[in-house]
Amino acid sequence: MTTLAWNRYGKSRVRLVKVRRARDPHEIVDLTLDVSLEGAFEPVYIDGDNRSCLATDTMKNTVYALARKDDIQHVEAFGLRLAEHFAARPGVSRVRIAASEHRWERLSAGGRPHPHAFGQAGAEEWTTVITHDADGTGVTSGLTNLILLKTTDSAFSGFPRDAYTTLPETEDRILAISMTAAWTYRRGVTDFSARERLRTALVETFALHHSRSLQHTLYAMGEAALAGCADATEITLAAANRHHLLVDLTPFSLDNPNDVFVATDQPFGLIEATIRRAD
């Protein structure tokens, strides 16, 4: 005898680009979305009875149809609308909407921002995950692939040493990271404009903080982000350390006063933390 312990299904990697042409200059929203449903779908799996099975192609079409009617000012608000739509389907007990927003920057021409030409400078993306179930609706937003580097004001010393320690202590090093951040909004929030303030807080703190370690800076960044958004209850940060190692130039009778480095991407230190408001 067997039982179906858990199930979920949906449509993944739905690509959506929305152009706000009614505005001057034009604005563009570029999203990749995942839609998934949980609920009373046991007959679909066990008996092959599809009467409760909303086709994943229908999910995809629903995303496009609702996008036509929605300005998508904030991807979180659009995700909430999608979640409410699918939650109203018979048999659905939980909806999960996950979205990544691919950032575009306006190009300049003749020293002025161009009204309808854009460029994609890097891999940074906005993210959001919407969950809708009997306990309510939760919104977690964030960003991925935020690449930051500073050439000084970073140290790492005073750490324990043993027979396998070769890393020298330093009071002045390059600090470079690739960061993922995810913050949770309190229930009932409808204004998601704070995400730009949160990103600014992360970036400015990284630049200004006198770092004793990446852990030290990570906590300061989380504190600053929460201070910049009263509606965020906690933030989880993960920073991959993009190591820059000082090159030994002594074989060439040259000194290296913290000037020439080799950039390595593997292996890397991964520092993670969740910073939460005190009760």
Residues recognised as catalytic: 11, 56, 243
Q: Could you tell me the two tokens for 230?
A: 């009263």
Pairing of β 27-39 and β 92-102: antiparallel
Q: Could you tell me the two tokens for 19?
A: 């152009």
CA distances from 104 to 124, 125, 180, 200 (A): 10, 10, 18, 17
Q: Closest by alpha carbon to 101, among 132, 57, 136, 67? A: 67
The full DSSP string for 112-155 is EEEEEEEE--SS-EEEEEEEEETTEEEEEEEEEEEEEEESSSB-
Q: Closest by alpha carbon to 242, among 264, 259, 225, 262? A: 264
